[in-house]
Structure 1
Amino acid sequence: MKKIRWWSGVSAVVGASALTFVSVAATAQDHGRGSDVKHVLLISVDGLHEQDVARCVAANTCPNLALLAKAGVTYTNAYTPGLSDSFPGLAALLTGGSPKSAGLFYDVTYDRTFFAPSDTTCSGKQGWNVVFDETTGIDAENGGPLIHLDGGGAFNPQAIPHALINGRCTPVYPHNYVKTNTVFEVVKEHIHGSRTAWADKHAWGYDWVNGPSGRGVDDLARTEINSIDPATNTNYLDSYTHTEKFDNYHVQVLINEIDGKDSTGASNATIPTLFGTNFQTLSVAEKATVASGGGYLDADFTPGTEVAGAIGYVDEALGRVVSELKQRNLYNSTVVIVTAKHGQSPTDHTKLVKNGDTLTKLLEANNYLDPNGNFGQNNTKTGNLNDGSGLVDTGFVQTDDVGLIWLRDQSQLNAVVTSLKANLACNAPGICADGPQAYILTGARLSKWFGDPAQGRTPDIIVQPNPGVIYTSSKAKDEEHGGNAPDDSHLALVVSFARFHGGRTEKARVQTTQVAPTIVQLLGLEPTLLNAVVAEGTQVLPGLGVGH
């Protein structure tokens, strides 16, 4: 029986990178489930840059990650597909597609075709500010506090908009919101007896990983990072060491699943064919102010005290998980993929600019959005998102270190672009987009990259400011993500397998979208079973190789 084999030794030819998903898929189909790979474990470490891995491996400060790299391929030139918020970042890894295919631009977006959660007949105005974050759990109903680790155990009905689907007014849950299938659905449908599992940072907003079927993940651990820890009466984001406690829940989830239990450890379950989780500790340490020990010390990614501590924690967590795989005799049959949904920007603190949200202020001042901020879920009765009282048909803008603009009146597009271009300077109230790496994306270029705004989901305008700009005046963070700045988009990616004889480095530029078809191929299936792979022609990762 034919099998997928890994290149042996560091002399493996780079020519393997020329393999397309078609040729690899054909070999995978031949060998079927006879592959040496029985399980794939995907771990996303939010904020993990390629430079972080290179530095800690060289300094021997991440020995467990270094051991994984020695038994695999380290991709030094891996990037997100255009946007780097958690939703499009994870969608790339799980669907093989960019926001154009998956339809996920941010966890807070806008869709012109949607009706309000309260409009159960779809008879009112259209255009809803969709928020699938920590407030998607029922704890947040009516603006309530997030008091349970599981988000309250159900969806917040005030977070679920409606859409006319085949003439029927239908609730749109997160799994209905993603526009393409996921690796979990492919595995469930095509590998008999398979089991899938995932754990992430929001208990209910990440329901979309199930895919449009709503059933892709057998065991979706419901953990909410914004919930209140009863031991401290604060949420798990108040410090990176507190975030370690939250990430430890995810380590235990993986250990339970490796041990043949469900995510809670309460019931016996089949060891997942495809499973994984997300770690947040490093992201929190990177966002912390440089003055408090957060972030990096220089442009060379020298970690500050908190980032160094967070990388140490992540490495220890990886070691615990790999140790459990070995104890259960699963290490030799499990591919471990370590990567990130997104990076963080700016790592070079000298580039940081926080002039406030000048982009939104400019749109408001010119009446492209309500001048008093009365648009979308910026205007709710409780002041909290998803309390059911947001405004309909208002347009919306989402800003971090990028600006996504859905116009209230799409006929104003040219006027808005003119206003933006007249205010590119970095001195407030300018939008700080006057450098060579900044751009205003709209029209045909935007449609080609992200889809047609006329269809309702894609923003009318995307503003990428100068690297280092964050549209905020917050004193609590010095880094952010979401856009396409280099520090946002250049990520770590290590694909490790015990049967790989000697680690190697792959320098070819790749996108994180290539992880999804690679997972499918490793498990003996055709990458073209992923809708986004077909739509975008996504290839498997180069340098892994196939043979007989």
Structure 2
Amino acid sequence: MHTAGAAAGTAMMMGNGQDHNGHNEGSEGNGHHGAAVKHVLLISFDGLHEQDVARCVAANACPNLALLAKDGTTYTNAHTPGLSDSFPGLAALVTGGSPKTAGLFYDVSYDRTLYAPSDTQCTGKQGWNVVFDETTGIDAENGGALIHLDGGGAFNPQAIPHARVNGACVQVFPHNYVKTNTLFEVVKENMRGARTAWSDKHAFGYDWLNGPSGRGVDDLARTEINSIDPATKSDYTDVFTHTETFDNFHVQEMLNEIDGKDSTGQTGAAVPTVFGADFQTLSVAQKATVASGGGYLDADFTPGPQVSAAITYIDNSLGRVVAELKQRDLYASTAIIVTSKHGQSPTDHTKLVKNGDTLTKLLEANNFLDPNGNFGQAATKSGNLNDGTGLVDTGFVQTDDVGLIWLRDQSQRAAVVKTLKDNLSCNAPGICADGPQAYILSGPQLAARFGNPALGRTPDIIVQPNPGVIYTSSTSKDEEHGGNAPDDSHLGLVVYVPDAHGTHGAHNAGRTIDAPVLTTQVAPTILRVLGLEPELLHSVALEGTPVLPQFDRGRF
């Protein structure tokens, strides 16, 4: 199996990367000059696999992305750094780091050092189930309905845990939670007059993009995908065509920013130096059941009707944004990066296994977690998820197509690992991790890759089940992401950087690079093309993250 870890090792050694024709990329890297780049547009089409890019370009089903690839570089072997949930996936793109340094494992995770939101003096137990999702907006206070697109316009105080810092008990907002700085902060701090903007799927959970300073993104659009659309009385994730309505908000926000306004279009503002958005339509179409027209038709990534339509939609959206850049004479000075936070697994429906959350059940049955499920969000005293009344110091398990385990009692780790290894089969009570591509990480091996669990943030055990396994019995979805299965870790990555004269026909255009890369390499590459030192990103310096091949030689 090609793992993200293997890609990391290869990427670290490939300073003189070669494309599939054997050409030395470093020798031609100076064909681009950062002086020509005044803006960088980063777009995440969540769920976009490399195979999706290859298929749609070959079939002329994504003409706008194909034109971008013709003028740029396509990386065919790009992977997430070990985990593929939206938080670590986006953190890779904007910090240059894996969960080991960025500290983001999932939007719903656990930290042994934190105190409950209600513990304003930090005098109670430590160990909090951190939930930075749609419930981070104040609409969700006391379990309220998510009735506003902007999440209610403020943070839900019941979702914000506490930490003891320099003797004081302080709130830990998402921007306090991320452990390293972001490229938005670096650009603002090192480029005079720089402006930054971003649009994502949760109005307040993505506050961490601001970085530890809390000020990295000048214009962080407040759009909440789980809010109730007044026109339909449902949120925007029920069907992919409804998700298009939500993603259109992001398209309009980018158009406004290109036109010299803020994301709302109400106020004049400089065109951002670094800006972009997340799109959810493709992800929703991929997750939809095959029986309803969602997902893929075969192991060759042949898109089903919903995925095919979603690819058309995201390509048209890209075309609208690029057309606006050209209309405003900005295309010749704007680098454009199209990629994804994560893929989706399994694309081959024949590999799908949904036996329920057998991992959590096994842990509960053996008293490694409360047998009644009294931990995490399920342990709220009120019955409302994430309203600040949850139990503390319970441990936690996060499952999708991966299992992240924070033990209630860390001294039980060896016993837990033994229990898991004794139950690897797909037969009850097994966890369906008995194949050659499955693994259980713990101890020194896990610490080397993801950080030391003793410090509080890193899971004690990570279970990667067989590809195709989703720890759910849900009948509404046939694909998921979060782990390191081939389908949710292997992503599309197309990078267009204008040449010094803005002719769009530079000798590096239309290049395909097959060398293994990680999505963490996107962030230092953005800084490189803007003329900044990649090591200004803390994660880049700590992990030694290289820039992408073709941009790894000289100044730009």
TM range (shorter): over 0.9
What is the aligned partner in structure 2 of residue 297 from structure 1? 297
1:45-64 alignment, distance < 5 Å = 45-64=45-64
Deviation of 1:12 after TM superposition, in Å, equals 9.1
Do the aligned partners of residues 11 and 485 (structure 1) sit closer, same or farther apart at CA in structure 2, a change above 3 Å counting?
Answer: closer
What is the rounded CA distance, in whole Å, between the counterparts of 1:405 and 1:165 in structure 2? 26
Deviations 1:373-396 (A, max 9, x none): 001221224433221111100000
Measure, in 2, the Cα distance between the counterparts of 1:50 and 1:354: 25
Equivalent residue for 1:3?
none
Match in the other structure for 1:231: 231
Structure 1 counterpart of 2:25, one-letter code: A
The question of whether the paired residues in 2 share the 8 Å contact of 1:14 and 1:543 is answered with no
Unaligned runs of 5+ in 1: 1-9
* Counterpart secondary structure, 1:35: helix
Which residue in the other structure is 1:517 paired with?
Answer: 524
Give the 3-state SS of the residue equivalent to 1:277 in structure 2.
strand
* Partner of residue 350, structure 1: 350
Which position in structure 2 is the counterpart of 1:276?
A: 276
**How far apart are the structure 2 equivalents of 1:487 and 1:248?**
27
Q: TM-score, normalised by structure 1?
A: 0.95
- 1:410 & 1:11 partners in 2: Cα distance? 47
Amino acid at match of 2:119: D
3-state SS, counterpart of residue 61 of structure 2: coil
Q: How far 1:142 sits from its partner (Å)? A: 0.5
Question: Superposition pairs for residues 324-473 of structure 1, below 5 Å?
Answer: 324-473=324-473
Three-state SS of the structure 2 residue aligned to 1:286 is helix
Secondary structure of 1:130's aligned partner: strand
Give me the whole-angstrom Cα distance separating, in 2, the residues matched to 1:498 and 1:252: 24
Contact preservation (8 Å) 2:344, 2:480: yes
Rounded Cα–Cα distance in structure 1 between residues aligned with 2:287 and 2:450: 28
Tell me which stretches of 4 or more aligned residues in structure 1 moved more than 3 Å. 10-14, 381-384, 544-548
1:4 matched residue in structure 2: none
* CA drift at 1:15: 2.3
Q: Judge conservation of contact 2:37–2:498 (CA < 8 Å) in 1.
A: no
More displaced stretch, 491-500 vs 66-75: 491-500
Contact 2:84–2:488 under 8 Å retained in 1: yes
Q: Which residue is equivalent to 1:267?
A: 267
In 2: Cα distance, 1:43 partner to 1:61 partner? 19
Superposed CA offset, 1:58-99 (max 9, x none)? 000100000000010000000000000000000000000000
How far apart in 2 are the matches of 1:384 and 1:238?
22
In structure 1, how many angstroms separate the alpha carbons of the residues matched to 2:218 and 2:139? 23
Correspondent of 2:542 among 535, 538, 542: 535
Q: CA–CA distance in 2 between the matches of 1:165 and 1:114?
A: 11
State the alpha-carbon separation in 2 of the partners of residues 510 and 214 from structure 1: 30
* Alignment partners' CA distance in 2, 1:547 and 1:209: 27
Q: Secondary structure at the match of 1:276?
A: strand
Q: Which residue of the partner structure matches residue 24 of structure 2?
A: 15
Distance 1:138 1:290, change over 3 A: same
The letter of the residue matching 1:287 is K
Relative to the length of structure 2, the TM-score reads 0.93
Which position in structure 1 is the counterpart of 2:12? none
What letter is aligned with 1:503?
Answer: G
CA gap of 1:433–1:142, structure 2 versus 1, over 3 A, is same
CA contact (8 A) 2:294 2:306 kept: yes
- In structure 2, what is the Cα distance between the partners aligned to 1:114 and 1:506? 43
Q: Is the 8 A contact 1:377 1:389 kept in 2?
A: no
Larger CA deviation: 492-501 vs 276-285: 492-501
Q: Counterparts of 1:143-182 in structure 2 under 5 Å? A: 143-182=143-182
* Cross-structure match for 1:5: none
Secondary structure at the aligned position of 2:24 is classed as helix
Q: Residue 14 of structure 1: CA displacement? A: 3.6
Aligned-pair distance for 1:16?
2.5
Q: Sequence identity, in percent?
A: 76
What RMSD, in angstroms, separates the aligned Cα atoms of the two structures? 1.7
- How many residues are aligned here? 530
Question: 1:11: how far off?
Answer: 10
* 1:546 positional shift: 4.8
Contact 2:122–2:169 (8 Å) recurs in 1: yes
**Change in 2 beyond 3 A, CA 1:346/1:167:** same
Deviation at 1:498, TM superposition (A): 4.1
What is the alpha-carbon distance in structure 1 between the residues aligned to residue 142 and residue 109 of structure 2? 20
